[in-house]
């Protein structure tokens, strides 16, 4: 038996994201066996004990907690993974940092820029390893896009556009808030599609194309009132059902972003495209193993968008999986983030995006929200 | 021989659009032989006589003129087709209307809203049949989109998005203005991609989704100076290289529009998508025979975007052409507009978009220009 | 006025192909004005005079004939275009050759290899310019494929596959034979999908990949009996509804071909793909402006199938049409063949495929038919 | 803690398939927690002990063996999973059956029909649960295809076509045989692409479209000699590099199959298409979450191929994974087969394809081999 260092995980939250992260921890041993650190699933926390127990049984956590403060207080936990609804991120992260725990926090960092600032301050004071689960960066095709851009192949950048389109809330009878629906409750989520979907687009954009300086945004709530699951009453809907914005990047390029939960026919159409002087790139989450690439250096009569099936061993992360042509799925992005976090522990580097980096996304989100409220352009650093 | 009524055409301008229109006139006899009116190519006008003569020879015009006023003055001309650069549209159209000629005017209507208003006033005073060459409406797939929307299949509309992306001016050594390049000279063209490309997107949008009430826009000129072909000097570039805008439609839906000549890899990527409560539609000029359609009424496990190959005899215009599966091209949109114009003469209806309708597009363009200049939202009817 | 040499055309047959050819003749003047020869539509022949007159009026033929022998006998006809059903090809072509006329013959050359051999003998004896309308060669994307192959980019060829799938005869109530349905009558057509569809695939294959040496084929007639339109009686169906074959090319590659009129959902899915040591190519008639190309010389992590939108001025034939990004249609293949035929008259070259070349396709068809009948491999040159 | 019944697994072979199966066993606990049986990874066997130990460590096997007979002899093993090269399948399976073990055998069943027959006899005599890893059946899109077909939506079937195209052996310097390359050694593998790739296509076809009655096949070996890794000598290559066949199904439809490792640009292009009277289906492994479906019952002007993104909870297996729009990968097919095998133990049903069913695929393979050798049609039941 090799002696691996254990990274003892305490997971807070048993929802959809609890599942994706747990799967991430469990797969690393099989697919990244060379890593010095390996996760040990020490405890999972949910306010409802039966729920915590069932989750622990299913995912192999050694113990359960019903109070997240108790989990943080445990000596046998190295890292706290925050998978709660957004309204708990700040409080838990700040407490965990104070307790000296490493932190892996689900995105968006928090509901507001204010909460986020407090979190960043706390974690930087505590000097603990940390990362935020903007998982899409680590899909192989997206990482390949980053490599192409970093290689300089695109030249000067002119345009960046991204959208994240869903259609699951068109039904006006869908209740808001409560179990499984907290994303529709502005008090809990902070915002609607802005924090849920656009924040992903912004994180990727900042990573691929640098900082955003100014934004002009618009939001809309198509269904104005919905029954709230917790109160049983029809209440005003306070989240943004749709949010779009135009922006300028500091590299001089123009950006265009859109997200909605009212685009009939799209389940999770997260696409981005970047147009440079010499080449362009585009990607679509629905076909996540493919990256499209146009290279103006190709022979004049033979230029065309290439559909790159990113499944070869020399493409990012793919030497860990199967053989060329055989695709992977959404969940693998989390496995890769776990692996990269573990690697960062080996060499003392950070595992991006850190809280500090996610704070930049938060600034753009705040500027978007302010712009939509006022109908004016907003500077992201005035936020 | 059947006795057809002749519509005697006088064409002003021998450029790219002169070719597309001439081809439109010539094809009607072969593919729409049932029409009571048939075009007769009476005269073509260009300031350069040799150019006019060569064009007349190639396209079968009976005579040439070098002064457009002379052409308008001729008794044997029923309809004047204006294919000049934008700076001549207003003067010619107003004169032609005064002379009682029918007018077919290339888009955009004019350089400015002011010019456009004068044109509309003139033509409505003259009460002559008129149409503006926003040709894309008449591609079969686009007309099919209109039919689907009119059938009510989409239900309440939430989103409309369109873009028109090209890449032909990325080269900073491309001169501005002059022969073949007037589209890059703001004095002649009025604007850059806004009038050239976005106006198409706006025309289609108004047709498919009704009026636009407010807009927030941004423009950019990536290459700030270029050699001017006429002066031989390096001069400031005054056109918009890129222009995007967000908007609200009067039906409550949100719109998002983008156009640029700096999207490496796209030659003429004109796409639009419309998301309704029950169904969605999207289209791409690069694959103009296809319309994509998502119908939420399809069986739950079998829903998907349909790729409709619009080449069947029961689809718009296609009974005039070949057999199912065999596509047509860009040029056919002009043939269809000629045919529809001729039909409108039979029954006294108008052939949309008329000057009045194109004026609505012009209002949106003006609001976009004003919004980009001021960084604020603009009402289209304040323009 | 320039003095062009007239190529005086006599067209025999007013059906679908009569329309595509006539359109081809008419467009050349507008799009290939530089050619020394230009077609003049002298006469069209149909057994039904009213039909001939209507066709002449629609397409601008100067006169009509009801007896093809009379047409051939005319001094003012330079070239005879044969658009009749297949059963008349041989008789007309042989007579026209004897009369010293140039011949443009619709594909397939004839019903049988025997008829074809007589035609080739006649035309070669008469030494008249000739061509067979295997029009798909001249779609720009297909011609570009030929250029790529000729450049040697593919290296050794391993595989060629093609299919031509339609679905228009699935309905068992569709009658066979008679007006508009002669393709379903074996006596008139010679065969079903073999001569109608597979012959196109074979012609392209021989052009792109060289000769076929041996074949093993299978045919099927799914609907065994249909009402015959001429007799009014239910009769045995003698054509092949579907036909597939495997083959070996003389360059050592393997071929696989399939055609059918029973592939629900496909209107005219003519696709081919060729796999070489270094690169591969594929094409689909449904999206005829696109060519897909895979180049193994691309950088390791960036390899992918390119979707080449064949609409640039430096791609085959496209400098004659519009601007990059704007597609053309099915009918343009005929315009190109007319232009190439006219060019061949200027320099005395042949306009492929000639009768001699089309005879090679006929040999493969005969071998396919014989193989399907016997269930054994057949040598194409034993035919 | 719930009390689950343990299915104690003994895995023989540590190669690529050993990894996919092991991952399958490990994921079931997380994603199919409701199953009464859960796998326990008891032992893994490899002739090289260090290899077995490393594999056991990585995948969590409790113990190792270096002699498969020892593994079979163990009382604490319930099921033997055979992942060796093909030449060992028969001997191990027969011994395991004799020992009363359940058997999960990698495909193809064996090198020859003779070996396969012995295996079926042994396992049916032993009456042990068994299954063969034709995993593609259990990709959600493929299972959905089966459901559509079983619903009768396609009506009478006319055509079935499939291919499996790769390009990894084009390099003539690639050695044959030995570590990692046994698929290129006919003595070990039994055949080349026939057993490796076409057997998958045949398994799916028999499942979706019923039995195949007669075949006509061709094979080719493009690179005739390669250095053998074990002998170090250049030797004749005895496998088929490419294999195609035409066939007839007992339901009256025609089939066309092709596989090769010389299709430049394709890594694992496994596609199938089935054309019925009323509807058609097609699928491509490269985009495994999508199923294309054409329904002729759709409104006349709105018919088109639907691209169904098979990621909704009401589509096969997908309620176990993430949320709509988020795809899964290749490996999930194995998880599903493990889950289905475990379920079959609960209710005493079989888990298709059983050895008996895989034997039918073997018969087709044998007929294909015989047909290619003789150049004649072969009856699959004469084999």
Sites in chain C below the pLDDT cut of 70: 1-3, 383
Backbone angles phi, psi at C150, to 5 degrees: -65, -25
B124 and B212, same domain (yes or no): no
Phi first, then psi, for residue C372 (nearest 5°) are -65, -35
Same domain, C76 and C158: no
pLDDT tens digit string along D179-205? 889 999 999 999 999 999 999 999 999
Query: Residues C23, B30: contact at Cβ < 8 Å?
Result: yes
Q: Using the predicted structure, report yes or no on whether residue D290 has a pLDDT greater than 80.
A: yes
Q: Which residues contact C91 (CB under 8 A, 6 or more apart)?
A: none
Question: Is D167 found in the same domain as D81?
Answer: no
What is the reported pLDDT for B2? 52
Q: Which residue ranges of chain A lie beneath pLDDT 70?
A: 1-3, 383
Phi, psi angles (nearest 5°) of residue A244: -125, 150
Of A292, A298, A314, nearest to C301 by CB-CB distance is A314
Strands (E), A107-146: 130-132
pLDDT digits 0-9 by tens, D88-141 = 999 999 999 999 999 999 999 999 999 999 999 999 999 999 999 999 999 999
Q: Is the peptide bond before C108 cis (omega within 30 degrees of 0)?
A: yes
Q: Which of B302, B309, B314 lies closest to D304 in CB terms?
A: B309
The reply to whether D122 and D208 lie within a common domain is no
Question: Which residues, given as ranges, of chain B have pLDDT below 50?
Answer: 1
Same domain as B288, residue B148:
yes
Between CA B346 and CA D260 the distance in angstroms is: 62
Residue range D251-267: mean pLDDT, rounded? 98
Q: Which residues of B touch D315 (CB under 8 A)?
A: 301
Which of D30, D268, D289 lies nearest to residue A324, judging by beta carbons? Answer: D268
Contact list, B309 vs chain C (CB under 8 Å): 267, 286
Nearest CA-CA partner of B38 in C60, D199, A138, C84: C60
What's the pLDDT at A180? 84
- Does the beta carbon of B297 lie under 8 angstroms from any beta carbon of chain C? no
pLDDT digits (tens, 9 = 90+) for D292-332: 999 999 999 999 999 999 999 999 999 999 999 999 999 99
Mutation for testing the B interface, residue in A148, A158, A258, A291 having most B CBs under 10 Å:
A158
Do both C220 and C246 map to the same domain?
yes
User: Does the beta carbon of D53 lie under 8 angstroms from any beta carbon of chain A?
Assistant: no
Residue C286 sits in the same domain as residue C192: yes
C13 Rama class: left (phi>0) / alpha (psi -120 to 50) / beta: left
D302 close contact with C: CB closer than 8 A = no
Spatial separation of the C-alpha atoms in residues A82 and A22, rounded to whole Å: 12
Q: pLDDT by residue (tens digit) across C114-149? A: 999 999 999 999 999 999 999 999 999 999 999 999
Closest by CA to B289, choosing from D382, A5, C326, is C326
Q: Which of A300, A304, A315 sits opposite C301 (nearest CB)?
A: A315
Cβ neighbours around C73 below 10 Å, total = 12
**Among candidates C37, C92, C42, C32, which has minimal Cα distance to C67?**
C92
Shared domain check, D176 and D27: no
Please report the DSSP string for B319-359 in residue order: GGS--TT----TTHHHHHHHHHHHHHHHHT---SS-HHHHH
Please say which residue of A82, A106, A135 terminates a domain.
A135
In chain B, the residue whose alpha carbon lies closest to the alpha carbon of C35 is: B58
D161 and D262 co-located in one domain:
yes
What pLDDT score was predicted for residue A177? 87
Contact C322 B311 (CB under 8 A): no
Beta-sheet strand order (sheet of B5-12): B63-65, B37-45, B5-12, B79-82, B102-105, B130-132
What DSSP element (H or E) covers B146? Answer: helix B140-150
- CB atoms B325 and C268 under 8 Å: yes
Q: If we measure between CA atoms, which residue out of B338, B316, B343 comes closest to residue B328?
A: B316
**Domain encompassing residue D154:** 136-379
Q: List chain A residues with CB under 8 Å of C312.
A: 300-301
In order of B132, B164, B217, C162, C225, the CA distances from B364 in angstroms are 16, 16, 11, 49, 62
Q: Do B308 and D304 touch (CB under 8 A)?
A: yes
A321 touches chain B (CB under 8 A): no
Phi, psi of D168 (to 5 degrees): -80, -5
List, in order, residues 6 or more apart from C147 with CB less than 8 Å away.
A301, C316
Retrieve residue A331's tokens.
């969940």
- Do residue D18 and residue D119 come from a single domain? yes
Last residue within a domain, chosen from A93, A113, A135: A135
Mean pLDDT, chain D, whole residue set: 97
Vertex B30 angle, CA B28 and B33, to 5°: 75
How far is residue B369 from each of residues B366, C352, D356, measured CA to CA in Å? 5, 55, 73
Nearest Cβ partner for B301 among D300, D305, D314:
D314
- Per the CB < 8 A criterion, the answer to whether C183 and C121 are in contact is no
pLDDT score recorded for residue D4: 83
Same domain, A303 and A204: yes
Distances D101 to D72, D98, D128, D129 between C-alpha atoms, Å:
8, 8, 7, 8
Report the number of distinct structural domains present in chain B: 2
In CATH, what number is assigned to the domain containing residue D347?
Answer: 3.30.360.10
The CATH number linked to D55 is 3.40.50.720
Q: For residue D329, which phi and psi values (nearest 5 degrees)?
A: -125, -170
Shared-domain flag, residues B248 and B131: no
User: DSSP 3-state assignment of C136?
Assistant: helix
Whether the predicted model's global pTM rises above the 0.95 cut:
yes
Separation CA B256–CA A244 (nearest Å): 8
Burial C130-167 (b: 16+ CB within 10 A, else e): bbbbbbbbbbbbbbbbeebbeeebbeebbbbbbbbbbb
CA distance C175 to chain A (A): 41
Tell me the β-bridge partners of B291. B308
Residues of C in contact with A305 (CB under 8 A): 306-307
Q: Which of D75, D105, D135 is the last residue of a domain?
A: D135
Question: Residue D294 is encoded by which pair of tokens?
Answer: 């054409």
Q: From CA A154, how far away is CA A274, in angstroms rounded?
A: 9
Question: Which residues lie below 8 Å from residue B217, measured CB to CB, with a gap of 6+?
Answer: A246, B243, B244, B245, B246, B367, B368, B369, B371, B372, B378
| Residue A300 DSSP symbol | G
């Amino acid at each position: 038996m090799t002696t691996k260092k254990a990274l003892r995980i305490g997971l807070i939250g048993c929802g959809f994201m609890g599942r994706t992260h747990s799967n991430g921890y469990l797969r690393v041993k099989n697919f990244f066996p060379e890593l010095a650190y390996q996760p040990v699933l020490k405890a999972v926390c949910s306010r409802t004990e039966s729920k915590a127990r069932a989750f622990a049984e299913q995912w192999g956590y050694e113990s359960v907690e019903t109070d997240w403060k108790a989990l943080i207080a445990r000596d046998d936990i190295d890292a706290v993974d925050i998978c709660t609804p957004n309204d708990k991120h700040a409080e838990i992260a700040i407490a965990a940092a104070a307790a000296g725990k490493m932190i892996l926090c689900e995105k968006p960092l928090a509901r507001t820029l204010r909460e986020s600032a407090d979190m960043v301050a706390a974690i930087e004071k505590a000097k603990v390893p940390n990362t935020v689960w903007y998982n899409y960066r680590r899909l192989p095709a997206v990482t390949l896009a980053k490599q192409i851009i970093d290689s300089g192949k695109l030249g000067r950048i002119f345009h960046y556009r991204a959208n994240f389109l869903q259609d699951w809330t068109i039904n006006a009878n869908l209740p808001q808030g409560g179990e499984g629906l907290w994303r529709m409750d502005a008090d809990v989520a902070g915002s609607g599609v802005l924090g849920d979907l656009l924040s992903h687009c912004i994180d990727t954009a900042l990573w691929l194309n640098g900082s955003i300086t100014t934004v002009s945004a618009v939001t809309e709530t198509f269904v104005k009132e919905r029954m709230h699951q917790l109160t049983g009453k029809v209440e005003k809907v306070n989240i943004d059902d749709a949010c779009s914005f135009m922006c300028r990047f500091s590299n001089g390029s123009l950006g265009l972003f859109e997200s909605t939960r009212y685009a009939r026919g799209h389940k999770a159409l997260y696409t981005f495209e970047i147009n440079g002087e010499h080449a362009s790139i585009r990607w679509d989450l629905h076909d996540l193993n493919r990256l499209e690439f146009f290279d103006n250096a190709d022979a004049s009569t033979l230029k065309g968008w290439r559909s790159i099936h990113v499944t070869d061993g020399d493409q990012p992360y793919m030497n860990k999986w199967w053989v060329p042509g055989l695709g992977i799925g959404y969940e693998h992005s989390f496995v890769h983030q776990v692996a990269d976090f573990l690697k960062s522990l080996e060499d003392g580097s950070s595992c991006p995006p850190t809280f500090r980096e996610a704070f930049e996304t938060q600034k753009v989100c705040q500027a978007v929200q302010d712009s939509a409220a006022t109908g004016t352009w907003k500077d992201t650093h005035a936020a």
